[in-house]
Chains A and B, each alone.
Chain A
Amino acid sequence: MAGVRLNHIVKKYAGAEESTVKDFHLEVKDKEFVVLVGASGCGKSTTLRMIAGLEEITEGELYIGDRLVNDVAPKDRDIAMVFQSYALYPHMTVYQNMAFGLKLRKFKKADIDTRVREAAKILDIEHLLDRKPKALSGGQRQRVALGRAIVREPQVFLMDEPLSNLDAKLRVQMRAEITKLTKRLGVTTIYVTHDQTEAMTMGDRIVVMDKGIIQQAATPEEIYNFPVNMFVAGFIGSPSMNFMTGNLVQEGGAVHFKTNGINVEVPAGKAQALKNYIGQEVILGVRPEDIHEEPVFLEASPNSIVNVHIELAENLGHEMYLYINGIGQGTLIARVDGRAGFKEGTNVKLALDMNKVHFFDKKEQKSILNG
């Protein structure tokens, strides 16, 4: 097994005005599961394809283990890829599909048989070995595609949105299975997705990308709790983090954040870090679950209570999304207890958990507290 090192990688296509991937610098440790996440067109798949050797690297160095592989032919990089399409070889049986790569590498028949049957057992597709792809369901095909990668016992797995063609239920199931599988095999894995849930649940580390640039590379917890900028803060989390622009002012020995319909006290710890911004406009970010309705919380947080109007209440049973206005700019979303019984069109009091709010520099859009 081996780690992967991307040393200031750049990809620029002929004819393009801008680079698709800009100065991508990342070290993936041996056996680590790293997820590249970002919106469509952010450069994540291009990065993966450069690691695979399917795209040429314009600038920078790529190492797999200690070996510089920029000029190594893709087939000699000792990697295995699983694509979004998970196209199988239609004229071959499942067994032949999985054995093909080994056959090409001139493995002995007995070794091929052992590896294919072991992988089939792990993936629970032993009973499908004699069938052809046309007779398989989407989930079964996906397993065969994974099997084809597993039997190679590569140094690195590269997966490009492998679950996006599956239905929602199967995605959840396969998500867990891939995570378990890569842990069990102990193979370094680089996984590309646009789905933040996949990123949060599968990755040891998440790399959030936008416009070809790494915005943040950190553990899921760090990304969620300490986003370095507004892009990361808004991209990870569903519903997204709420943002409102306002002023930081000194009032009676405390720092307050003030804007339309809201005047809340900033805790002393955060206020200290914000001292250079007093008298200036900043952006406050608060996650929907950090807006509370519980009476106990309201009682304990008299300095962060806001009066809001409920425009829409979506009850999901275990939780409820309140679309609120009256504070900040536009509509904000609060996630509250599903049994709270809020009604649309009413005015209520809610409180922000000021220990968990984020502040961003208005111009740079960078986190003031986590930067």
Chain B
Amino acid sequence: MDWERWKERLEAVLNAPMQLTLVPEAEWVRLVDEEQGEQQLVIRSVKRGDDVLFFLGRESGGIRVLQAVGDKLTASERQLVELTLESKQTQEWKLAGAYLTEDERRASQLRSWLLDQMERGQTHAELPDALAAQSSLYAAKLPLLLYGDYSQNHKVSYVELKKLLETFFDEDILLIPLLDKEWLILGSENLLTSGGEERDGDEEESVEEALEAIGAGLYEMLANEWGGEYHLAIDYPFKPAKSLLATMLQLRESIMLGRTFHVGTYIHLPWELRLEKLLHLVQDKEKTKFMDQVLRGTDHLLDAETLMTLEHFFSLDCNVSETAKKLYIHRNTLLYRLDKFKQDTGLDVRTFNHAVLVRLALLLYKVTKRK
């Protein structure tokens, strides 16, 4: 991109000195940390002393930034520069559209519609007939949202990713690029039943299990054959003409919740994040208050072993035998750990009421970062 010309124009309009410069990656990470009150997907600018640094892109030597020198920009001006930056990138993306394939052109139209609806604050708008018809979106589709946490150096092209996904699923898919590194994939509903024969002597696979298997398979394939870190959310089949926007927002929310509450997991399933969704709505002050009341200052006792034990215990419906088996420990060792937790906190997780409290406290513990 022609950053030099853009910089000169901004300087003239804002009457503020600016320069294009490179910032080491580690320093950028630190500045973003300082800036980031809560988790956001995109940070467009950060403060460094009096200066404001606007993110332009990653380069081999570090982060390319536009540096507004000195305390010259008001908060509104800073937001305006961010906006011009975003629209410049979008515009160049659209210009490139002149050379797009028919597939990309359609995907680009869907993307524009989705982003437009989001800007207007819509959450449940139906897709216009013209858009739905040209991409055959009246039939049910299987939705997946992919967020690639890769560096700019490993930027993924639409054509390559689509080809890879179609080879993988062995059928046509609709790939819609959303924000930078974010892709909505609409596959055929038939994928759910393509797992073939039933398991020997086992109960029938549920829809959720089938969806999770598809998500896990896709994640594994991307990690093995493509590389880079991905987060992936998958949901039940839906009719895009009716609820493309709502489904996309739900998937995006699932990735946000999964990344917030379950660091280290990469496949995020909306039906497993209902409690997290509820807790996310609680104000930080209330979260901290709840933690204080339940754990009564004993949260320092939540070491890695205790956390792992409790998480497995809850995930296995408080079943002592199954948890001991899963953790490869003797049943008595597990009971000893649970008793010790009870002794330390006064909470007996083998009783329903205390289990509920501790389960909530553990989820909140991760986001309040009290350790």
Contacts and interface: CB of A to CB of B under 8 A. Distances in A.
Q: Give the dominant DSSP class at B's interface.
A: helix
B173 interface: no
Q: Give the dominant DSSP class at A's interface.
A: loop
A14 B151 contact: no
A316 interface: no
A80 B224 contact: yes
B227 A53 contact: yes
Contacts of A59: 26
B317 interface: no
B168 interface: yes
B207 interface: no
A196 to B, nearest CB: 12
Given A40-B308, A54-B228, A134-B199, 8 more contacts: A14-B36, A58-B29, A74-B154, A85-B216, A87-B220, A91-B196, A93-B196, A134-B196
A58 B25 contact: yes
Interface residues of B, number: 43
A290 interface: no
Interface string B10-27: 000000000000000110
A355 B144 CA distance: 62
B84 interface: no
A83 B223 contact: yes
A109 to B, nearest CB: 15
Given A71-B60, A91-B214, A134-B199, A58 B26 contact: yes
A54 B224 contact: no
26 contacts: A14-B29, A40-B304, A53-B228, A54-B229, A58-B29, A59-B26, A75-B227, A83-B220, A85-B216, A87-B213, A89-B217, A90-B194, A90-B195, A90-B210, A91-B169, A91-B170, A100-B225, A101-B224, A132-B197, A134-B195, A134-B198, A134-B205, A134-B213, A135-B196, A135-B197, A135-B198
Interface residues of A, number: 41
B226 interface: yes
Given A14-B32, A135-B200, A81 B224 contact: yes
A73 B151 CA distance: 10
Contacts of B224: 80-81, 101, 148
A90 B226 contact: no
A248 to B, nearest CB: 32
A300 interface: no
